[in-house]
Structure 1
C-alpha cells in the first residue's frame, strides 16, 4: 500500500483555492504530469462525475479515468481510479487559516504487478511531484 500526503499554505481565501483546485479543467495548469483532462459526464463537478486524464509518469503516457466519489465544495474532494497497475484514490482537503488556506493532497493506492516492486521508490517520486504540484498551485493563486 502506498499512502503519500503533503500540504501547503496558500495565501488566498479558502473559497478561491478550493474552487480553482477542484476544477478539473485547471489540472493541466498546476499538475506537472497531467497533459489533459476530458469530461466524460456533464458539468458541473459532482459525486459520480467522471473525467479522462492523460498523464506522463516515468517517461510513459498514462490514460486513466477518475470517478469523483465525495465532494463537499470548499472542504473536500475525493476521486478514484481503478485502472492500470496502480489504482489510486486522491483526496484534496482545504482548511482556512486566517486569510490563507491549508491545502492537503493525499494519494493512496495498492500497486499490482510491476507496481508492487516499485512501491517505495514510487512513493518518494510521488511525494516530490505532489510537492511541486502544490508549489505551482500556490504560485498561480498567489499571483492573481
Structure 2
C-alpha cells in the first residue's frame, strides 16, 4: 500500500488556490509528471466527472482516467482511478489560515498490482518527492 501525504502553505487567498488546483485544465502547468488532461464528461467539475490524464512516472508513460468521488468546492476534492497498473486515489484539501494564506494538502493512496507491487517502497519515495515539487510549483504560480 502506498499512502503519501504532503502539504504546503501558499500566500494566496483560499478561494483562488482551491479553484486553480481543482481545475483539471491547470494540472499540466503545476504537476511535474502530467503532460495532458482531457475532459471525458461535461464541465464544470462535479461528482462523477471523468478526466483522462497522460503522465510520466518512473520513466514510464501512463494513461489513466480519474473519476471525481467527492467534491466540496473550496474544501476537498477526491478523485479515484481503477484502471491501469496502479489504482490510485488522490485527495486535495484547502484551508484558509487567514485572508491571504492557504494550507493545501495532497494525498495519494493506492495498491500497486502486478509488476509494480515490488516497487512500492521506491514508488512511495518518488511520489513524495514529485508531490513536494508539485506543491512548490503551484505555490510559485499562485504567489507570482
Please give the TM-score of this superposition, normalised by the length of structure 1. Answer: 0.98
Matched, 1:133 2:134: yes
Unpaired segments of 5 or more residues in structure 2? Answer: none
Q: Which position in structure 2 is the counterpart of 1:43?
A: 43
Tell me how far apart the structure 2 counterparts of residues 120 and 60 of structure 1 sit (CA, whole Å): 17
Q: Which position in structure 1 is the counterpart of 2:111?
A: 110
Tell me how far apart the structure 1 counterparts of residues 111 and 57 of structure 2 sit (CA, whole Å): 17
Tell me how far apart the structure 1 counterparts of residues 129 and 68 of structure 2 sit (CA, whole Å): 24
Q: Which position in structure 1 is the counterpart of 2:125?
A: 124
- Aligned residue runs from structure 1 range 66-105, under 5 A: 66-98=66-98, 99-105=100-106
Matched residue of 2:7: which SS?
Answer: strand
Cα RMSD after superposing both structures: 0.5
Unpaired segments of 5 or more residues in structure 1? Answer: none
Please give the TM-score of this superposition, normalised by the length of structure 2. Answer: 0.98
